[in-house]
Amino acid sequence: MSAKNADPTLVYVIADYGDLHDLAFAEVTQRLHYELTGLSTEIHTFAVPAFDTFATGFALAQTALNSKLGARQKFFVNTAPRKDDLAPRKRNAGEGFVYAKLQNGVEICAVNSGHSLAFVKDAAVEIRQIKCDVHGSQFRSRDIFPAAFGTILKGDYSILGEDVRDCVPDFPHDVVCYTDGYGNMKCSMDPDRLTAVKNKHLILDINGRVQVAKAADGIFGVADGEYCISAGSSGWTYPDGKVVRFTEVVKRGGNAAKTFGKPPGGLPIHWRTTE
């Protein structure tokens, strides 16, 4: 991994710093370029909502598990709400930084917070603690973690510690995971559950708000301005052959998430028929 290849290594930064023009993305990218000096890399940044480890985990899995780049694809992931201990923190301590290698060859360095690694857990060959400081800076993803990331990308795995797979939660079912730019909500609900009620109208209850939506055959299976719930475009296949597909809640030509109060990741989706 330390050799300089003709084809650059693609590094995705997934973080909850705010909009992509937020200064934090510039500072972290700058530091990563420094720590990766000597390697041929391209760094791209992707924003997720603040503290939302469900959105982080979904975005990571959708891009990492579907990647065809293998060892040429790396991830630097930072959503660190510091919810593992709600008491006052000493020296800005937070969740640990971990390394995961997927069966498809993709490598990930991520803060092990909430559900950030839950969606890739079943595809990981190993998930191990990275031996680096977890305190000493409010901005660990700029001041501490890039150096560890660079060490690993340059082929030095001596900083890897104990196996922490058991510290990663399992795949969360039947919850809102991610909202795209159109306001379509991607939910970890098996769309096969809608087969028996296809073309019927359902009452959706999300975030304490209720809306009628049609169980449609595709997200454009309703008229403009109407709501639907259907199999969406997201999902992946795990190494054991298990296929995961996500259900989407959509307002055609509008914003379904706004209707439901822009629910954060992790909120459950409930539904029943109107009959």
- For the chain, domain boundaries: 9-167, 176-273
Residues 107-146 have pLDDT tens digits of: 999 999 999 999 999 999 999 999 997 776 778 888 899 9
pLDDT of amino acid 234: 97
pLDDT of amino acid 85: 42
What residue has token string 């104990």?
Answer: 162
Full pLDDT tens readout for the chain, 275 residues = 444 446 999 999 999 998 888 899 999 999 999 999 999 999 999 999 999 999 999 999 999 999 999 999 999 999 986 454 433 333 333 478 999 999 999 999 999 999 999 999 999 999 999 999 777 677 888 889 999 999 999 999 999 999 999 999 999 999 999 999 999 999 999 999 999 999 999 999 999 999 999 999 888 889 999 999 999 999 999 999 999 999 999 999 999 999 999 999 999 999 999 87
3-state class of 60 per DSSP?
Answer: helix
pLDDT of amino acid 142: 86
Using an 8 Å Cβ cutoff, are 73 and 67 in contact?
yes
Q: What is the CATH number of domain 9-167?
A: 3.40.50.10790
pLDDT of amino acid 20: 81
pLDDT of amino acid 92: 33
Q: How many CB atoms lie within 10 A of CB 204?
A: 22
What is the pTM (predicted TM-score) of this model? 0.91
Q: What is the CATH number of domain 176-273?
A: 2.40.30.90
pLDDT of amino acid 146: 95
Of residues 183, 171, 159, 163, the one with CA closest to residue 262? 183
Contacts (Cβ under 8 Å, ≥6 apart) of 131: 159, 160, 161
pLDDT of amino acid 94: 43
pLDDT of amino acid 274: 86
pLDDT of amino acid 3: 45
pLDDT of amino acid 136: 62
